[in-house]
Amino acid sequence: MLENEDMMQCVAFATADEFHLGTLCHDLVSSGYSELLSLPRDASNVLLVEATDISKEYDSGLIFFFREGAVVFWNVEEKTIKHVMQILERHEIQPYEVALVHWENEEINYSFREGHSKLVKGEIAFNSQLEADEVILEKFAFSNALCLSVKLAMWESTLDRFVESIQSIPEMLKARKKVKLSHDDVMQKIGELFALRHRINLSSDLLITPDFYWDRENLELLYDKTCQFLSINRRVKVINEKLQHCTELTDLMRNHLNEKHALRLEWMIVILITIEVLFELGRVIF
């Protein structure tokens, strides 16, 4: 329950690796939602939609769809959120598990107050004197940071599952037990690891501030403050440390299998040479 009557809610979900924004926009408009063209042209890969069913009368209902697979709802009724999520399912690329999507969401309360817009004590306070387009830009900055947080939560969950799948290997090696992983299995694990590292460090904005904020200092400040509140940098550092440890372990496994393969080849060569020597001895003796 929200403590103040004028307090509204913003909710963010990451539902897939990516969205088809073009077809999604057409589908949403056909379902009665209105696309808004309030964002600047350099706010690329984002679809902004207005929802008529709002939770509270103090603000309009807005939905930001990010091509990276995240959606952020501002002051939207729960039934409308469910309806939009159902529509969204038809336009997702590599969707995530539904239970995980709802578990790893972000919720933040907001309201309109006098003074500069800011994030304080986990709540957003917008300047009540701002024009509608200015409020949309600030919501975009907050939404962008929330998008990163929910995407990162999904990658953290993926990495945790990966760690769980290999956590028994060090103990097995320590106990000198046979590791039941083939060369193909190890190469698959290495591929999964590098794919996750690529998504986090190369194909996302987790490590850099997007170009959109370079000439918009006030929005950059809101974006940075929200990222700081959501511990984006610390979480990225932790996940990269885990990735490094997993990389070292998979490299160890690959080297171990290569050594076993090389040793097997050496024994095969020794056996073949022994057989050839025995044949020669047999030919000489008999």
pLDDT band at 1 (very low <50, low <70, confident <90, very high): very low
Which tokens is 107 given? 């919720």
Q: What are phi and psi of 255, to 5 degrees?
A: -65, -40
Q: DSSP readout, 147-180?
A: HHHHHHHHHHHHHHHHHHHHTTHHHHHHTTPPP-
pLDDT band at 205 (very low <50, low <70, confident <90, very high): low
> Helix, strand, coil: what percent of the chain each, to 5?
55, 20, 25
Mean pLDDT of 40-67: 90
d(CA 257, CA 263): 10
- Which is more confidently placed, 74 or 247? 74
Helix 232-285 vs helix 183-201: crossing angle, to nearest 10: 160
Position with higher pLDDT, 65 vs 243: 65
Contact in structure between 68 and 151 (CB atoms under 8 Å): yes
Which region among 48-62, 124-138, 202-216, 264-278 has the lowest average model confidence (pLDDT)?
A: 202-216
Distance CA 20, CA 207 (A): 25
pTM above threshold 0.85? no
Q: List the structure tokens of 192.
A: 């999964």
Strands 70-74 and 16-19 come out as: unpaired
Q: How far apart are CA 73 and CA 283, in angstroms?
A: 86
